Amino acid sequence: MPIPAGTKLGSYTVTVQIGAGGMGEVYQAHDTKLGRDVAIKVLPEEVAHDPERLSRFQREAKMLAALNHPNIATIFGLEHSDGVQYLVMELVPGDTLQQRVKRDGPVPVEEALTIAKQIAEALEAAHEKNIIHRDLKPANVKVTPREKSKCWILVWRRRLTAIRRAWTSAIHPH
């Protein structure tokens, strides 16, 4: 069940849901302590109380926090409030690559190469920390208004085949 706008989670006030999938719901929220907008990821309600899923969520947060790269959304913290555990991360402005392609059609070759290079650099930084993205797809890549690509990393796992499958579908959409 989505978290309604205005809900307080610790020092964060939820403003709007900006994404949802099998691995969680993502909300835009306002950090009332630091006066900035952030993204908050919450596990889906049906698995939020599963000890194994919570443990995996915490491990993923720790892995993601070890990454520091201009093309990867920054993790600010792992929080718990009113029975809800959530990940607080950088709110990346702009559309996802999926939204952009749906709205504007195919990305021009030169720009697509720039985006692909930035994604590759982000993946390289993750691989250097022995982290492999499990769910790389156009919906998890944001293109900022300044044409900077950022991987909005929601799930990581050590499985190279998933990267190949996601990248192939991004290059050759059906």
Q: Give pLDDT tens digits for 88-139.
A: 999 999 898 999 999 999 999 999 999 999 999 999 988 888 887 777 889 8
pLDDT score of 154: 41
- pTM of the entire predicted model: 0.78
Please provide the DSSP assignment of 90-148 as one string: E---SEEHHHHHHHH-SPPHHHHHHHHHHHHHHHHHHHHTT--BS--SGGGEEE-TTS-
Residue 1 belongs to a domain: no
Residue where one domain finishes, among candidates 65, 90, 115: 90
Buried b or exposed e, range 145-157, using 16+ CB within 10 angstroms? eeebbbbbbbbbe
Question: Could you tell me the residue range of the domain that residue 19 belongs to?
Answer: 8-90
Domain check: are 12 and 84 in the same one? yes
Please provide the DSSP assignment of 62-94 as one string: HHHHT---TTBPPEEEEEEETTEEEEEEE---S
- Give pLDDT tens digits for 133-170: 777 889 889 888 877 666 655 433 444 445 455 555 66
Residue where one domain finishes, among candidates 56, 90, 124: 90
Taking the C-alpha atoms of residue 162 and residue 165, their distance in angstroms, rounded to an integer, is: 5
More confidently predicted of 22 and 121: 121
Domain check: are 63 and 134 in the same one? no
- Active-site residue, selected from the candidate residues 31, 37, 95, 135: 135
Catalytic-residue membership of 31: no
Backbone φ and ψ of 4, nearest 5°: -70, 150
Residue 132 belongs to a domain: yes
Q: Taking residues 2-25, what's their average pLDDT?
A: 90
